[in-house]
Amino acid sequence: MSRIFITDTTLRDGSHTVSHKFNPEDVKKIVSALDAAGIDIIEVGHGDGLTGSSINYGFGDHTDFEIIQAASSIIKNSKLAVLLIPGIGTVEDLKKAKECGITAIRIATHVTEADVSAQHIREAKRMGLFTVGFLMMAHMADVHTLVEEAKKMESYGADVVYCTDSAGAMLPVHVQEKISALVKNLSVPIGHHSHNNLGLAIGNSLAAVEAGATYIDGSLSGLGAGAGNTATDLLVAVFNKMGYEHKADLFKTMDASTNALIPVLEAKGIKTNTNLDTMILGYAGSYSSFLLHARRAAERFGVDIRDILIECGNRKAVGGQEDWIIEIASDLAKLKNN
């Protein structure tokens, strides 16, 4: 199986959640954490893409170009992308975005309207940008139509074509069917973007990879329009468990959520009920009621709860062995102090 490329869209799809009000400082903080976590592509900008700032979709406090410049000033290894929806953004805007520092572009159309992206995809390729074709509302088209439209984007020069579940309406069986057809009929890599409206985002992402997709979208803590996207944190955890090859670091991705994104959201008065510790229970295979005990022990011994829960999993603790937590926390503290 080829390696998976993760695109994090916290600062683009997640912009919907903050009414497009991420400021350049927020962007720097979050981009720098994502970059450090080894995320392949970081997408920023208005939720409705380049120059989406409008009465119809909501005005941002900063232009996309200011946001791109802020991100570009801090990014080291990841590609920096924006979304462009033809009919909203133009090639002129794309050129400006390139000058501000993007290295990748995602060109989005409704799933049946790929031909309006021809001029933008061709121009993006001419500028040397890594270019992704993004077919939105993919649940509305049958497999045949989706494949035909995706082939158009490929023929314009797209490096990757996405099946985008903008409405979070697809079931794993649909994802499987659509992604396999795309993989079979196109020669460029295929991507999937999910929304968690039916609680299926991570399941659909897995179904997509199993069907051959190699580009998968996520956002920190699942921030995004509607119920949000697949959480990037979850993607990394689950990909690790599946043994997929990718470049992201689990703890650093979680730290990007906890230490970069959450404080930014809280400063905007947005309450989150992200509980990444619970994810680690599943990741490590630790008994669920260990959670609160591990949290107390982490505080008491000054260690990371994630290390405690993972060690519980490694030592194969079973239900009822809450007492092991104290021993593990104490061992970890000793290790740390040495």
Binding residues vs another protein (CB under 8 A)? 51, 54-56, 86-88, 90-92, 110, 112-113, 115-116, 118-120
Give residue for tokens 């890599």: 189
Report in angstroms how near the CB of residue 98 gets to another protein at its nearest: 15
Q: Which two tokens stand for residue 244?
A: 């997929």
C-beta of 116 vs 270, nearer to another protein: 116
The nearest distance, CB 217 to another protein, in angstroms, is 23
Residue with Cβ nearer another protein (119 or 272): 119
Nearest by Cα to 220 from 172, 268, 263, 165 = 263
Specify whether the CB–CB gap between 229 and 217 falls below 8 A. Answer: yes
Task: Kindly state the smallest distance separating residue 109's Cβ from another protein, in Å.
Answer: 8
- For the bound state, the minimum distance from the C-beta of residue 196 to another protein, rounded and expressed in Å, comes to 25
Residue closer to another protein, measured from CB, 115 or 299:
115
Q: Which segments of 66-167 are extended strands (E)? A: 79-84, 104-110, 130-136, 160-164
Tell me the closest approach of the beta carbon of residue 165 to another protein, in angstroms. Answer: 17
Q: How far apart are alpha carbons 261 and 131 in whole angstroms?
A: 27
- Please say whether the dihedral angle defined by the alpha carbons of residues 144, 147, 151 and 152, taken in this order, is positive or negative: positive
Beta bridge partner(s), residue 216: 6, 192
Q: For the chain, how many helices (H) and strands (E)? A: 14, 8
The phi and psi torsions of 81 (rounded to 5 degrees) equal -125, 155
The token pair that represents 73 in the structure block: 């000033």
Shortest Å, Cβ 112 to another protein: 4
One-letter amino acid at 44 equals: V
**Do 201 and 195 contact (CB within 8 A), yes or no?**
yes
DSSP-assigned beta bridge partners for residue 25: none
Query: Which residue lies nearer to another protein by CB, 54 or 289?
Result: 54
16 catalytically annotated: yes
CA 37 – CA 76 distance, rounded (Å):
11
Phi-psi category of residue 337: left, alpha or beta, with phi > 0 → left and psi -120 to 50 → alpha = alpha
Q: Which of 16, 46, 120, 139 is catalytic?
A: 16
Q: Which is nearer to another protein, 40 or 93 (CB)?
A: 93
Report the residue number, 109 or 180, with the smaller CB distance to another protein: 109
Q: Which residues are catalytic?
A: 16
